[in-house]
Structure 1
Amino acid sequence: MPRIVQLLASPVHRYVGRPADGPAPAPPGELVSEIHVRAGLGIVGDRYFAKPAHRDASVTVIAQESLPPGVDLSQVRRNILTTGIAVDGLVGSVLILDSGHGPVSLRVRRPANPCAWMDATIGPGAWRALRGRGGVRCVPLTDGVLRVGPVEVRISREVTGERRSHPL
């Protein structure tokens, strides 16, 4: 059964400078049990919320299956950690998640490519290992709330001008 494993809404950008220097300390409370998503703006309280440069990539999603055991969102700096959803293959689709408070639609715009910081936060070789499995960058299409726990998943794909939706 698909699940939302973890959620992150961090008000600060911790990866500044050189990876060898390590990330800035995490602010308290960046891992949360629920997030509030706003259409076209992102996650309320997150560092990319309503930032014009990040409007088409304000929410990031990664599959737990892509990560080594014990690695969490504070290390990869994605917003939503799922299990049971192959998110890396969804570019161009709309990912619809419902954790019990109504559906939240996310247009999957592009891959969230890993960077050299992954070697510093996860361990040597992580940057290379996460290529093609670093998650996806999305723009929220609807307002809503997502919570940690079981999640209903639908994926909508446009096929020759028409939209088709199917559950995961």
Structure 2
Amino acid sequence: MQLLASPISRYEGRPADGPRPAPPGELVERIEIRANLGIVGDRYFGKPAHRDASVTVTAVEGVPAGADLTQLRRNILVRDLPVDDLVGTVLVLDSGDGPVRLRVNRRANPCAWMDATIGPGARAALRGKGGIRCTPLNDGVLWVGPIIATIER
């Protein structure tokens, strides 16, 4: 698992202009999640417009070779989990400090920035594999490393 919590939105303006520079420390070892608010320290934490999408999850299997979370702008990168098929469920992740429950609201569709940051054709390659947008249902902590994932239907 890989984790990202960024205090800024790097993709502003036009993709042709390129992203804003990344602040140091976006990729983290640990994230704190708060129910209905998101990830502490992340750009979408507590923002009313993003309450139903404050935590994003994507699977490494759908990520173009060489890309990482700093380009994708998703918060959680997992392995061997069909995240794009989980809309309407509750995804439960536990990295050892107890379960974090995430209501999966909708897919996170890739945008034109993917072609600018990852490379030409990345947006098309990510269609249907861009990850999911979630609302955290409880407070919790996730760490980089092995994770137990369950799905509540």
Please, what TM-score do these two structures have when normalized by structure 2?
0.99
In 1: Cα distance, 2:121 partner to 2:80 partner: 25
In 2: Cα distance, 1:68 partner to 1:31 partner: 18
Amino acid of the residue matched to residue 19 of structure 1? P
In 2: Cα distance, 1:82 partner to 1:121 partner: 21
In 2: Cα distance, 1:59 partner to 1:142 partner: 12
Q: CA deviation at 1:108?
A: 0.3
Q: Could you say which structure has the higher strand fraction?
A: 1
In 2: Cα distance, 1:71 partner to 1:111 partner: 19
2:102 is matched with which residue: 95, 106, 124?
A: 106
In 1: Cα distance, 2:144 partner to 2:85 partner: 22
SS across alignment from 1:108: strand
1:139 aligns with 2:138: no
SS across alignment from 2:52: coil
Q: Indicate the residue corresponding to 1:162 in structure 2.
A: none
1:36 is matched with which residue: 32, 39, 44?
A: 32
Please, what TM-score do these two structures have when normalized by structure 1?
0.90
In 2: Cα distance, 1:82 partner to 1:138 partner: 14
1:55 aligns with 2:66: no
1:92 aligns with 2:91: no
Q: Indicate the residue corresponding to 1:75 in structure 2.
A: 71
SS across alignment from 1:55: helix
Q: Indicate the residue corresponding to 2:124 in structure 1.
A: 128
Q: Deviations over 1:124-164 (max 9, x none)?
A: 0111111111000000001000011110111000xxxxxxx
Where structure 1 has 5 or more consecutive residues not aligned to the other structure, the ranges are 158-168
Matched residues, number = 153
In 2: Cα distance, 1:112 partner to 1:155 partner: 18
In 1: Cα distance, 2:67 partner to 2:119 partner: 10
In 1: Cα distance, 2:149 partner to 2:119 partner: 31
Q: Could you say which structure has the higher helix fraction?
A: 2
Where do residues 18-29 of structure 1 align in structure 2 (5 Å cutoff)? Answer: 18-29=14-25
Q: CA deviation at 1:17?
A: 0.5
In 2: Cα distance, 1:109 partner to 1:78 partner: 15
Q: Indicate the residue corresponding to 1:8 in structure 2.
A: 4
Q: CA deviation at 1:68?
A: 1.7
SS across alignment from 1:97: strand
Q: CA deviation at 1:69?
A: 2.0
Over 3 Å off, 4+ runs: none
